[in-house]
Chain A
Amino acid sequence: MAKGDPGVTSRGRRAAPRSKRAAVAGEPELVQLLTPEGERIESALGPDGTEYRVDFTDEEYRGLYRDLVLVRKLDAEATALQRQGELGLWASLLGQEAAQVGSGRALRAQDMAFPTYREHGVLYCRGIDPIMPLGLFRGVDQGGWDPNEFKFNMYTIVIGAQTLHATGYAMGVAMDGKTGSDDGEAVIAYFGDGATSQGDVNEAFVWASVFNTPLVFFCQNNQYAISEPLERQTRVPLYQRAGGFGFPGVRVDGNDVLASYAVTRHALDNARHGQGPSLIEAYTYRMGAHTTSDDPTRYRIASEVEAWQAKDPIARMKAFLTRQQLADESFFAEVDEQARAESVHLRERVLAMPNPEPVTMFDHVYPNGSPELDEQRAQFTKYLESFEGSAH
């Protein structure tokens, strides 16, 4: 899906009052282009005076809505499959669709993304078959997509580790001379609020900064590191940490797909032009459990969840489309039907996933194999064959 350019400028304070008004009372100002009520804000200023705006076609607005709904529905299906014993585990993205779709759609084809284990929405935007992560969580493969083909790294379970991988990758991009033009490459690293307390992430900040890497740190602050609330994670708004490392930080309404897109696109373009890293804090909320093994009712109260429900990313987009008469009931019904059909299809394919043969564990150790490994494989194959005819 091609998106219009955000038309970012770095001047003018005209939009500031509107943006301020939209900011949540008592919370640091965040960049917002679509209010929870679905009211469109023309432009918003970041903390450094950058003016953010988007200029989408009607079709593109509808496309974003479709992405959000599909991503949520597929995620819900995966959660159901786990509850039915078909997946070992699932980390739901419920509530974080806008941050993921907005940033995911802001990526250009040449940009590389490093996800955590929750970026199913970004994965979808990268054009990867949504079945892929389900194989991982079903335990029948390692994820299955080619990170180079889709420019989307494998899911990383270790908290924050991927920020270092991304930093190294981005240093490589810079060393290859692939930055400095409109066609330059940029890298984006996803992580959560809990990861900001990890040494890895802080090291990545240091290296990305001093080597001026083309890297965007995209932190989805969903307010909880499993059960640990944000106030146990930081005393300052997370985006302000960037200042201490020497690069800009901005907080965006992570439930606003338009603002998430605009802010990410701007940061990526800065990176690809050789202007160094930046940190985006997408302020959002994990509406579901940390993973299917978690019970959020044990550490957070219902009223908090309700308050965030009112800021739902899909509801506001729907309200906007309706208000602007960009879509009607038949469109929404069609999107719902598509989501339903795709989730049923996803379910069927998950249930049909074959269990891997034991010998396949040798397949991807080295790209071209090795004599020693080949020998091990042969031995193992022979060993397995010795059971032919007996029960397993």
Chain B
Amino acid sequence: MSRIKEFNLPDLGEGLTEGEILAWLVKVGDVIELNQPIVEVETAKAAVEIPAKWAGQVQAIFHPEGATVEVGTPIIAIDTDPGAGPIEESTTGAPAAGLPTPSAASLAAVEIAPEEGMVEPGLIGGVAPGGRTAVLVGYGPRNAPAKRRPRKGAIPAQAGPAPAASAPAPVAQTPAPVAPAPAAPAAPAVNGTGRSGGPVLAKPPVRKLAKDLGIDLTALTGSGPLGSITREDVQRAASAPAAAEPLAAAAPAAASFGADREQRIPVKGVRKLTAENMSRSAFTAPHVTEFLTVDVTRAMKALDRLRERREWREVRISPLLLVAKAVLLAVKRHPMVNSTWAGDEIVVKDYVNLGIAAATERGLIVPNVKDAGRLSLRELADALTELVQTAKAGRTSPADMSGGTLTITNVGVFGVDTGTPILPPGESAILAFGAVRELPWVHKGKVKPRLVTTLGLSFDHRIIDGELGSKFLRDIGDFLADPEAALLAWT
């Protein structure tokens, strides 16, 4: 029985497939107790601390903080009997097997699965003590460490298999940046492996088919849910028996190998969505950006007067409210800006779902106020307040974020003057609202300190010509320069 035990990331919440390492609470060399918190992991459901499954000494940590790890992947190796002296080389079986020097991470794997493709029923990697049948709840079969192969010669061994007794194997806790793993998106989403220590996943009729055709299920890579082997997998193997073997041998090993040894932080969640949206938009919609600097002193005074009114006393009033109002009024005068490029047609919308770009702890999100054009100023103020608070609390729902038609990004709150915003996909215009600053400004023939801001409008040049974009921006500026007059003139 292996003294070094690898702990696989369990399914922490009913059907999860991965977790992000938030923080390691122990380091290599630490002596730990049973149930001592070792790592903080965040899943799609919760951030939780994982207690140590065994007492012992931390031998290796396989993933850095920030890494997203698939359920079933080893995250830490613990020497459960550190007092017993150095780990003997002969027990690893590595030299005998003629394999390259294994890392400590693969020691257990080598012990359990000395032969490629060999199945040891009842054991899942090196984690299960004794000879008991031990399939980790939910995900045992697919990611057992037994499928992990010793590292190929690409990387020099960072630690020998026989460390000195004084320092029992503080090995490779920093995964080396090695050659890129097989492109993650191209690989099957769940890469089943037939050579794990756990049972092979396949439905009974598929097993029957495999038996009838004389196909060894353990040699196949499943393409079904959870890496299960499908009827097609079996039939494919039957029709090309020679090709199936090497394919199955190479793919899963390489994939898991890369995942363990490279410091790669998968792009996911809000970051992934943002990146996809930005790239898509930046490379499909030809943007142009125009700027306008406006004296908003009058508008700010108007806001102050609004605050003094009794019925507005409880309302949160910010300059963003006026900008939103300006945009909504300007859209009424130029409906074309509130549209979508749909390939062979342009969809102009009679409703404005006004997006507000918000920076939250979890990244950039753009919730929108539905049909904002129909709201009174007071309703708009309430809607904006709620939208921002919901976003800050992290409770924005997907529905709140979809269907936006036109967006304001309030970069001024970060103290910058303006920017060249990228269009949210499906929208044709986005306004950047810069910081309101007191600047020297020519007012009625004299240089006076005035409150000034800069607006930046990006628009989709396929739909909006320079003339239309300029008029739209000009109208927003006019409203902000003198809201009362603009209201009288336009409504």
Contact = CB atoms under 8 A, between A and B. Distances in A.
A21 interface: no
A83 interface: yes
A383 B208 CA distance: 10
Contacts of B211: 386-387, 390
Interface in A234-257: none
27 contacts: A77-B35, A80-B35, A80-B51, A83-B48, A83-B50, A83-B51, A84-B51, A85-B9, A85-B136, A85-B137, A88-B11, A88-B137, A89-B14, A292-B12, A293-B12, A293-B45, A295-B48, A344-B34, A351-B132, A351-B134, A383-B204, A386-B208, A387-B207, A391-B119, A391-B217, A392-B199, A392-B217
Contact of B218 (A77, A87, A391): A391
A138 B138 CA distance: 10
B12 A86 contact: no
Interface string A274-311: 00000000000000010011110110000000000000
A74 to B, nearest CB: 13
Given A383-B204, A392-B199, A83 B12 contact: yes
B207 A392 contact: yes
A1 to B, nearest CB: 28
Contact of B49 (A83, A87, A352): A83
B100 interface: no
B10 interface: yes
Interface string A365-390: 00000000000000000010011001
Contacts of B119: 391
Closest 6 CB pairs of A and B: A85-B10, A295-B46, A293-B13, A84-B53, A80-B51, A88-B137
Contacts of A298: 46, 394
Classify chain B: how many residues form its interface, as a range. Answer: 35 or more
Given A83-B10, A297-B47, A392-B199, 16 more contacts: A77-B35, A83-B50, A84-B7, A84-B53, A85-B11, A88-B14, A89-B13, A89-B14, A293-B12, A293-B45, A293-B46, A383-B204, A387-B207, A391-B217, A392-B200, A392-B217
A293 B217 contact: no
Nearest to B13: A293
A354 B130 CA distance: 12
Nearest to B49: A83
Contacts of A89: 13-14
Contacts of A354: 132-133
Contacts of A355: 133, 135
Contacts of B8: 85
A147 interface: no
A379 to B, nearest CB: 12
B81 interface: no
A391 B133 contact: no
B286 interface: no
A184 B42 CA distance: 52
A139 interface: yes
A392 B132 CA distance: 16
B169 to A, nearest CB: 23
A87 B137 CA distance: 7
Given A354-B133, A355-B133, A391-B200, A295 B47 contact: yes
